[in-house]
Amino acid sequence: MRANIILLWLVLSATQASAYDANDPNNCNGVDWNDKQTLVVSKVVTRPHVNFIKSPYDDDFKAESCPATTDACRKRAYIVTGDLVLTGKMRGDFTCVSYQSPTAKKQTWTAGWLPTAALAPVAPMASPSRSDWIGTWTHPGGSIEIRRGRTGGKLQIEGEMTVPTAHDFHNGIIKAEAMPEKDIIAFLNDGSLPFDTKSEDGCRVRMQRIRAWLMVEDNDGCGGVGVSFTGLYHRK
């Protein structure tokens, strides 16, 4: 009897594990890096709040019909009017987003579907001046300092990020000198090579000014496992 129970448990476990497909377009695991396109920041416009919508892997892989506009697909977690999210792929009437409060104390991201109708894209600041970039910008787990460069027009950028693990921590560093172009700063490694230089390795970073925030995105190549500078930073 004990052997039969163990066998049944193994079969059920294997069935559940196989039910998750990371490439299933109905699953939202947060926004992804795109070499060719900057992330879009959107504002929640629904009042007073909007609930996240489940992916098929939720509820122990029992939410196969999600995302959908049904009570069964609605999560308890929600965000409120005016919150800013990073937006990714779309699926039907839903957009995959990543959300983290820029003033949070912990590095806690929430990823999930939101109704596209509840979101309005936020345009980047048009042609920021150098003073719009300069300052010390903070984010849960790290900070980025931007100051005038040594040569005309360029900016020096130095950042550090720490991500705690179960027994230790992983960290990352960005250090570059780059020239802003229109509404964006983009660089590869230390900025000595163009951002679009073909390379499978390296730390690629893009920055934009979004309202009062500095929006940063990277390709997860700027530090240890799980380290990313991606997010909205506020200036001290």
Is 3 a member of any domain?
no
Residues 29 and 87 both lie in one domain:
yes
Calculate the alpha carbon distances from 157 to 125, 222, 228 in Å. Answer: 19, 13, 16
192: containing domain: 130-235
- What is the pTM (predicted TM-score) of this model? 0.86
Residues 140 and 110 both lie in one domain:
no
Is 135 a member of any domain?
yes
Report the C-alpha gap between 159 and 166 in whole angstroms: 24
Is 10 a member of any domain?
no
Report the C-alpha gap between 38 and 99 in whole angstroms: 17
Is 196 a member of any domain?
yes
Alpha helices in the chain (DSSP H): 2-19, 58-61, 130-133
Report the C-alpha gap between 235 and 133 in whole angstroms: 9
Q: Is 223 exposed, middle or buried (0-12, 13-18, 19+ CB in 10 A)?
A: buried
Buried b (16+ CB within 10 A) or exposed e, 146-159: beebeeeebbbbeb
Residues 31 and 74 both lie in one domain:
yes
Domain stop point among 95, 121, 147: 121
How many domains are contained in the chain?
2
Based on its alpha-carbon atoms, the radius of gyration of the chain, rounded to whole angstroms, reads 20
Residues 157 and 211 both lie in one domain:
yes
Residues 154 and 108 both lie in one domain:
no
One digit per residue, pLDDT tens: the chain, 236 residues? 444 433 444 444 444 544 557 678 999 999 999 999 999 999 999 999 999 999 999 999 999 999 999 999 999 999 999 999 999 999 999 999 999 987 888 888 999 999 999 999 999 999 999 999 999 999 998 999 999 998 788 999 999 999 888 888 899 999 999 999 999 999 999 999 999 999 888 999 999 999 999 999 999 999 999 899 999 999 98
